[in-house]
Amino acid sequence: MEEKSSDLVISPATQADCRIIARLMLERRIDEPRFRRLARRRIQRTLYERWAAPRFLFRNADTFQATIGGELAGFLILLYEHPAVVIVDMAALEPCKGQSLENHLLAHAARVADQRQYPYLRAALSAGDAYIAERFLEAGFQPLEFRRWEFTGTVAAQEVPEGIHMQPLVGRAVVEKRKHYLQMELDEAQPVGRELIEAHYLPKRPPVSQAFELLHEGEPFGYLSARRERGTYVLNLSTLPRWWGSDLEVALVTAFPAVAARAKTADVRLLLDTTPHADALAGSLVALGLQRGLSDPDVWLKTLGGEELQAEQGRG
């Protein structure tokens, strides 16, 4: 599939093109945690840049190059994960950055999705992509409301609230309970693109961590998983909406790390999967000294109705 507009050409990338695009992708993503880990050791970065990434781009993804006057001006990388075509990466190179090339690349992605009859386009924007957020908005994308928030910091030891029981979960029960409470949260949040969320973000296998169903005076009300990473207790919590922000919920998530560590204080990273839940807990947790932030890049969503996304001409 090749698209031409004036002297702009968007066409499938060759294997040689993919080697160049892999290097450019790594350079622009170097500050993201997953790429920073690759860059810690020179041999790891070299293998990724020269072999692993080009192979992935050529064999597993649909990679397109955009040229202007025969010179590389940008690239677009797509994956197909029903029900969405995923924009893995998209970039315009200098001096085309921030101009109309991004509109053409988004238009090309929408045409591909429409031809393959996928109902959604999905993309994750990192901090370095803030300059194209306006282009995504103009093209009809919106941030996905299913966003993972995190609260990080140090908590002091206290007793687990009275009446709380943590029932250990194993095997398939972990996945079933996790999905159950996540769906309760989604029922409350009513996010756009729920079909996409349930297809891609609900768990399919047990996590590598301890998992519990939470009960209060015998009545189940939530799910908690916990693992330790480099001295920090990482907690993932989902509860029934009526528990969001309650004193018992706050006490539980701040007491568990120190109790598990058998110490006076413990470092914690609490993960929450919906914005309403994070908003309900934020005041209490921030008052305790925890910092709030986004755990994942912004995920943007466009619902396709068979229409073709039109690139705006002459935008500078």
For residues 248 and 134, membership in a common domain is answered with no
CATH of the domain at 69: 3.40.630.30
The answer to whether position 76 is within a domain reads: yes
Mean pLDDT of the chain: 85
Res 263: pLDDT: 83
For residues 123 and 105, membership in a common domain is answered with yes
The answer to whether position 61 is within a domain reads: yes
CA distance 279 to 19: 43
Under the banding of pLDDT at 50, 70 and 90, the label for residue 54 is confident
For residues 290 and 164, membership in a common domain is answered with yes
For residues 212 and 107, membership in a common domain is answered with no
Res 255: pLDDT: 87
The answer to whether position 127 is within a domain reads: yes
For residues 197 and 256, membership in a common domain is answered with yes
Res 38: pLDDT: 60
DSSP assignment of 76-138 equals EEEEEETTEEEEEEEEE-TTTTTSTHHHHHHHHHHHHHHHTT-SEEEEEE-GGGGGGHHHHHH
Res 127: pLDDT: 66
Under the banding of pLDDT at 50, 70 and 90, the label for residue 114 is very high
Res 313: pLDDT: 33
Res 5: pLDDT: 59
Res 197: pLDDT: 82
Question: Where is the domain boundary, 113, 145, 177?
Answer: 145
List the domain range (segments joined by +) for residue 136.
Answer: 3-145
The answer to whether position 19 is within a domain reads: yes
- What is the number of domains present in the chain? 2
The answer to whether position 121 is within a domain reads: yes
For residues 90 and 203, membership in a common domain is answered with no
The answer to whether position 308 is within a domain reads: no
Percent of the chain at pLDDT exceeding 70: 88
Buried b (16+ CB within 10 A) or exposed e, 46-77: eebbeeebbebbbeebbbbbbbbeeebbbbbb
The gap from C-alpha 139 to its chain's centroid, in whole angstroms, comes to: 20
CATH of the domain at 198: 3.40.630
For residues 26 and 94, membership in a common domain is answered with yes
Instruction: Write out pLDDT tens, residues 279-288.
Output: 999 999 999 9
For residues 126 and 51, membership in a common domain is answered with yes
The answer to whether position 300 is within a domain reads: no
Least confident of 29-43, 49-63, 137-151, 252-266: 29-43
For residues 155 and 125, membership in a common domain is answered with no
For residues 109 and 171, membership in a common domain is answered with no
For residues 131 and 214, membership in a common domain is answered with no
For residues 171 and 264, membership in a common domain is answered with yes
The answer to whether position 314 is within a domain reads: no
Question: Where is the domain boundary, 101, 117, 145?
Answer: 145
Under the banding of pLDDT at 50, 70 and 90, the label for residue 308 is very low
Under the banding of pLDDT at 50, 70 and 90, the label for residue 299 is confident
Question: Where is the domain boundary, 125, 145, 165?
Answer: 145
